[in-house]
Amino acid sequence: MSAPLAASAQATALLRRLGAARIAHPGGTLLVHLQRVRELLATWGARPALQLAGLCHACYGTDGFPTALLPPDRRTELAAVIGAEAEAIVHLYASCDRGDGFFIGFQRVDDYRPPRWPGQTVPQQLHLCFEVADLDEAEARLLELGAGKPDHQPHDAARARVLTDPAGHPFCICRG
């Protein structure tokens, strides 16, 4: 068994011991939800530490799910099973106050037409810019995931790039 799979099995065993399989959660139990999150992250190609963080993301409770499996003073116990990096992600997620952040909502509309960029025959309704550490790496990964890259690039390629999501919405990635 590979190291990431062994860590996932150990984390699942810990979650069972802590009662996650007995806690109701939309769609089943908390354990089932946590396993689905890890599986989704694996499908997306997330690195092992992020998959383990996804599996354990509710260990300390969250702003939206206050039931804690472990109190924060037992962080070393979780870190011993999933590693320090994954535990730090879990702790950060548990510490987030959803009331203080931004919310982005999306909805479907009848007769939707994606924007045409750079032309404005169908106007753009929204534009998002994402700051990234490495433009080349981020662009390659986004293209691999289905983004498009228009021929028209109005920015210095060393600073920013315009991409489109699979539906044609433009967005920028910018050097952080």
Q: Are the C-beta atoms of residues 162 and 172 closer than 8 Å to each other?
A: yes
User: How much is the mean pLDDT over the chain?
Assistant: 85
Dihedral sign (CA 121, 150, 41, 39): positive
Q: Are the C-beta atoms of residues 68 and 59 closer than 8 Å to each other?
A: yes
Domain with CATH 3.10.180.10 in the chain: 128-175
Which tens digit of pLDDT belongs to each residue from 7-18? Answer: 999 999 999 999
Amino acid at 112: Y
- State how far Cα 91 lies from the chain centre: 15
In CATH terms, 3-97 corresponds, of 2.40.40, 1.10.3470, 1.10.472, 3.40.50, to 1.10.472
The CATH class given to the 128-175 domain equals alpha beta
Domain with CATH 1.10.472 in the chain: 3-97
Q: Are the C-beta atoms of residues 51 and 4 closer than 8 Å to each other?
A: yes
What does the alpha-carbon distance between residue 111 and residue 117 come to, in Å, rounded to a whole number?
Answer: 19
Which tens digit of pLDDT belongs to each residue from 62-116? Answer: 777 778 999 989 999 999 999 999 999 999 888 776 665 555 556 666 777 776 6
Q: Which residues face 28 on adjacent strands?
A: 25
